[in-house]
């Protein structure tokens, strides 16, 4: 079975836990996710099954949307509610100060990842060092906050909606906001509402997946390979070109493709409308070169 499974990850599970569970339920060995969620978080976890695992690289860089609850006045070592409290301060923050502080995070910013993260430094995971009580200086990373909106204020908690680039740590955003406000803060709850084109409305729970497996109907929950490739324009090839493409051969640039001067990659289909794969446009050589070719389903 090949396709995309959009899951609503339960709180308390790691992304690896979910992948392992889906492997056991579906008996599909090739299962991968397109971007981790912390155990605390719930919401959209995009899984690729079978041949779709070859598409992870196209999905991992997609922008994300979150609904985050941030608790002001309490700072933790992990920057979220699962950590140990390391500082508490009174919360004396006005709505105006909140909005002004949030506005400073909009756009391209430098963000320091938390110590409790899977990033490697000098060959070691940061969270392994943190668990040993070792804190090291981390290099900041450029991320983009496309939008950050204040949805609710019920002090000491505030609720935000964040649209951000891949690689953004909402935990770090909560911590940095607390520092800017002078009261400290941590991430109390997090829901990923969208990852690229995939939304929470499309997601199924593990319970729903289990029920579908029991009923023998779980493949109906999969979205097709094309769902991962909607950002790429598409063309339908002639039968001879389709046969050459399926054998991994480059093609003379079809007239339809020659019009796609802004595209790097193109979805290609056979005359019957079946996806063949992804090909890279090379105008300098006037050809399409195969990048991901799928076996016939």
How far is the C-alpha of 158 from the C-alpha of 84, rounded, in Å? Answer: 20
117 backbone dihedrals φ, ψ, rounded to 5° = -145, 165
Q: Degrees (nearest 5) of the Cα angle 43, 5, 193?
A: 25
DSSP calls for 117-145: SS-EETTEEHHHHHHTT-------EEEEE
Distance, in Å, from the CA atom of 12 to the CA atom of 29, rounded to the nearest integer, reads 23
Q: Which residues are catalytic?
A: 38
Q: Residues 202, 203, 205, 210: is their CA dihedral positive or negative?
A: positive
Q: What is the 3-state secondary structure (H, E, C) of 238-278?
A: CHHHHHHHHCCCCEECCHHHHCCCCCCEEEEECCCCCEEEE
């Amino acid at each position: 079975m090949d396709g995309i499974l959009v899951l609503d990850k339960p709180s308390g599970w790691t992304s690896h836990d979910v992948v392992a569970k889906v492997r056991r339920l579906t008996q599909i060995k090739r299962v991968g996710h397109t971007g981790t969620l912390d155990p605390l978080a719930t919401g959209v976890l995009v899984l690729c099954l079978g041949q779709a695992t070859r598409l992870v690289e196209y999905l991992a860089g997609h922008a994300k949307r979150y609904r985050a609850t941030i608790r002001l006045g309490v700072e933790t070592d992990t920057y979220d509610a699962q950590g140990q409290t390391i500082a508490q301060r009174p919360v004396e923050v006005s709505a105006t100060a909140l909005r002004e502080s949030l506005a400073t995070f909009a756009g391209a910013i430098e963000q320091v990842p938390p110590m409790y993260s899977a990033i490697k430094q000098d060959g070691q995971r940061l969270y392994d060092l943190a668990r040993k009580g070792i804190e090291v200086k981390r290099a900041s990373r450029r991320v983009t906050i496309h939008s950050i909106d204040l949805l609710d204020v019920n002090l000491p908690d505030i609720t935000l909606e964040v649209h951000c680039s891949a690689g953004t740590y909402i935990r770090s955003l909560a911590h940095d906001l607390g520092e800017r406000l002078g009261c400290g803060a941590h991430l109390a709850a997090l829901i990923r509402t969208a990852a690229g084109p995939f939304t929470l409305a499309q997601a199924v729970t593990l319970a729903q997946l289990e029920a579908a497996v029991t009923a023998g109907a779980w493949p109906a929950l999969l979205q097709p390979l094309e769902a991962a490739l909607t950002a790429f324009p598409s063309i339908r090839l002639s039968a001879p070109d389709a046969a050459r493409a399926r054998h991994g051969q480059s093609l003379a640039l079809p007239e339809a493709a020659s019009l796609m001067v802004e595209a790097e990659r193109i979805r290609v289909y056979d005359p019957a409308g079946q996806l063949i794969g992804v090909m890279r446009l090379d105008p300098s050589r006037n050809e399409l070169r195969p990048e991901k070719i799928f076996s016939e389903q």
